[in-house]
Structure 1
């Protein structure tokens, strides 16, 4: 019903400015198989993958420290909270001044977008580790490395995955935002250039691809949570 109303409304009132469902469906295959779209998708996904890897690794490491080292938490929490509340769009102009209009700017914005939710979520998880586990590790005289591997990481794993889940969405938004504002090659620029050329169908296909990537990423993190930390699901039922 929604599709029918959408199609009829656009054809009656704004045929030159908005895409129709039939037009998007017709442009789907040509857009997905075009060289320009493939190049743009590769640029965005490459930046997102590397930025996620760097940001999530650094955020998880800092989050573990924030949860277990009180002085580090008190020192860093105000700055992390402030950055976390700041829209990524506000960071892009500063990043372009410091790093220029280059792939480094995109990587920095994506990494920061992923870093913050991972640090916050992992820190919350590390603080919630039961004191009994710490006492048990002392009784067993576990080394610091064994405590991290056998106690800290398994206990915080659900929170780490939850942070990654948020980080993926923020990384995609950050990538598109920096491509919009810095005119870097990628899906953001692809959408903008097609919209300016009144190729709304192709632009909407790219938007659908971004939405699909977000859905797939969320499903992937939920699957990882079920397989890697099944006890967490049983506890929260």
Structure 2
């Protein structure tokens, strides 16, 4: 092979892009997903109509109740209240979890000083400390924010710490060999390698934050979507009770998609081949 031919081959190979699955495969995935949704909702509608409305509702009745709650403004006000609590609590938990996770994963002395506390708090049932939270913060928004943050912080912290520990030691050794400072090692080596673990922790933290929000709304300030669940549950209005429940599901799905988009932005190599 001549030098010019070799150069041309190198140039052509440099233009090759790594592509994801072909459009036909993506279309098939979406088709299967749509079919499964139709089957589940159709089965729910068919069998739900055969069950006493006191125990179960069905999609068409839930949709009718949702329209009525939207028109009255009840659902919108409850959703806004819950989102405020969820966003503030989750952002607070994420910041604390990411910082502490990086420190715990990187520095052995910090890990030794805090691992017992993290394990103890993570394994403590939330119900056991609810009376104490109410004594500390009362029944207002601070109690709700504390509960949301407490539940969401541990998945973020634990996954971030695990990501730091899984950074290949050879990479850190190379940085040290080239006289990189601790700050440079953190920013150039550890942080990029840990981003996928951070995003996994954030995705898990979203689910925990939603659980904490609902529990807080049940037992502290009876507001938001949790208040609607309690209200219509006490009235034995199953169709209306399902509206905030399904809203919480959609909220969790939407926030998870946002985190995935953020992961694609900050760690694009993770999405190759998806």
TM-score over 0.5 (shorter chain): yes
**Residue pair 1:91, 1:109 contacting (<8 A) in 2 also:** no
Q: Which runs of 5+ in 2 are unaligned?
A: 1-41
- Deviating above 4 A after TM superposition, structure 1's stretches of 4 or more consecutive aligned residues are none
In 2, Cα distance between the equivalents of 1:56 and 1:209?
Answer: 23
1:20 Cα deviation after fit: 3.0
1:170-189 Cα offsets, whole Å, 9 max, x none, are 00000000111124311111
Alignment-derived partner of residue 190 in structure 1: 228
Q: What TM-score, normalized by structure 1, do the two folds share?
A: 0.90
The answer for the alignment partner of 2:168 in structure 1 is 130
Paired with 1:217 and 1:151, the residues of 2 have a C-alpha distance of: 28
1:7 pairs with 2:7: no
- 1:177 correspondence with 2:215: yes
| Structure 1 position 233, deviation (Å) | 5.0
Alpha-carbon distance in structure 1 between the residues aligned to 2:113 and 2:50: 55
Partners of 2:233 and 2:222 lie apart in 1 by: 16
1:15/1:232 Cα in 2 relative to 1: closer, same or farther (>3 Å)? closer
Judge conservation of contact 1:102–1:184 (CA < 8 Å) in 2. Answer: no
How far is the alpha carbon of 1:139 from its aligned partner? Answer: 2.8
Aligned position for 1:79: 117
> Which secondary structure state, in structure 1, belongs to the residue aligned with residue 50 of structure 2?
helix
Residue 230 of structure 1 deviates from its aligned partner by 2.8
Q: Any gaps of 5 or more consecutive residues in structure 1? A: none
Contact residue 67 and residue 124 of structure 1 kept, 8 A = yes
Change (3 A) 1:233 1:78: farther
State the 1:227 CA deviation.
Answer: 2.9
C-alpha separation in 2, matches of 1:200 and 1:50: 30
Q: State how far apart, in whole Å, the 1-side matches of 2:102 and 2:166 are.
A: 11
Find the counterpart in structure 2 of residue 223 from structure 1: 261
CA RMSD of the aligned region, Å?
A: 2.0
The corresponding residue for 1:102 is 140
Higher Rg of the two aligned structures: 2
Question: Displacement, 1:59?
Answer: 0.7
Instruction: Report if the CA contact (8 A) 1:6-1:21 is conserved.
Output: no
Q: Shift of residue 17 of structure 1?
A: 4.5
The TM-score, its normalising length taken from structure 2, stands at: 0.78
Deviations 1:176-204 (A, max 9, x none): 00111124311111111122123322221
Change (3 A) 1:200 1:220: same
2:89 to 51, 55, 60: 51
Residue in 2 aligned with 1:36?
74
